[in-house]
Structure 1
Amino acid sequence: MTITLALTDQDKATLRTAAYGAVALLSAADATGKPHKIATTGSIALSSAIGATGHVLAAKTRDIDLYGKSVAELADRVLPALTQSITLLNRQDPAEADNFRGIVLTAIEAATQVHQGRPGPVLTDMIAKIAGALDAA
């Protein structure tokens, strides 16, 4: 069964910015010298997603807005986009909102596996902030 969501181009850009931005936040906050591995592993997880959200995330576009001069600027853009994405999807299909939440959390888990153990306190804090933004809707 294929789920069709009524998403505008801006809605799709918000979903992509939120999901890829969550991975970018982890990468930017990593102090172990492995940010490129976090970014690669997390992005692969996102591009491997299924469902209606998976189709949105797999699209090759240039509308992902991850610009900023600091982790704080990136977080100011990404964390609200995560909450907005869940709100948007909940209005149309709560199951797809759950799918999106699961996709982002799976990407985070995959990205942090590059540490072959427990992530440090900075990454743990960022993961909590991302999860909080997903649950704020």
Structure 2
Amino acid sequence: MSVTLTEQNEITLRTAAYGAVSLLAAAGAAGGSPHKIATTGTVALASATGLVGRVLADRRKAVSLDGRSVADLADHVLPALTASMSLLAQQDPAEADNFRSTVLVAIETAQQDRTSPAVAEMTRKITAALDAA
């Protein structure tokens, strides 16, 4: 099955994936290790394969993950996760599964040995957004 993504679709996928790691880092900030969370999560995203891996590796168009608060970031990222899953599921369910597992592996890797109630709750919200499609 051939997947056709516009430039905006690709930006949405990158926003969703890198934004999920950023949300986790923001939630883990109280634990004092947001940089480690962001770094390990981003490295995990770099190991993605298939169409998802190619889209995430292409950083020519940077994503905007600005916000004055975690809530602002969540308002931007969680809908992007759901939109990415919907878009990919319509075109190629295997790539939707690839995207979902890529994001989940990244957040699991990022939170390794750093689980706090805030990180666990953010993980739940990210998973719910992925499954809302």
- Shorter-chain TM-score tier: over 0.9
Q: Tell me, what secondary structure is at the counterpart of 1:103?
A: helix
Check if 1:132 corresponds to 2:128. Answer: yes
Q: Aligned-pair distance for 1:62? A: 3.6
Distance 1:62 1:38 in 2: 23
Q: Aligned-pair distance for 1:80? A: 0.2
**Cα RMSD, aligned residues only:** 1.1
**Equivalent residue number for residue 47 of structure 2:** 48
Distance 1:114 1:23 in 2: 15
- Amino acid in structure 2 at the alignment position of 1:93: D
> Alpha-carbon deviations, 1:58-94, whole Å to 9, x = none?
1122431201000000000000000000000001000
User: Where do 5+ consecutive residues of structure 2 fail to align?
Assistant: none
Check if 1:18 corresponds to 2:16. Answer: yes
TM-score with structure 2 setting the length: 0.96
Distance 2:53 2:59 in 1: 12
Q: Aligned-pair distance for 1:48? A: 1.2
Q: Aligned-pair distance for 1:123? A: 0.5
Q: Aligned-pair distance for 1:25? A: 0.1
Distance 1:127 1:65 in 2: 21
Distance 2:53 2:113 in 1: 23
Distance 2:50 2:61 in 1: 21
Please show how residues 98-137 of structure 1 align to structure 2 within 5 Å.
Answer: 98-115=97-114, 119-137=115-133
User: Where do 5+ consecutive residues of structure 1 fail to align?
Assistant: none
Please show how residues 51-62 of structure 1 align to structure 2 within 5 Å.
Answer: 51-62=50-61
Q: Percent identity?
A: 60
Distance 2:16 2:98 in 1: 14
Give the length in aligned residue pairs: 132
Q: Tell me, what secondary structure is at the counterpart of 2:32?
A: coil
Q: Aligned-pair distance for 1:114? A: 4.6
Distance 2:4 2:53 in 1: 15
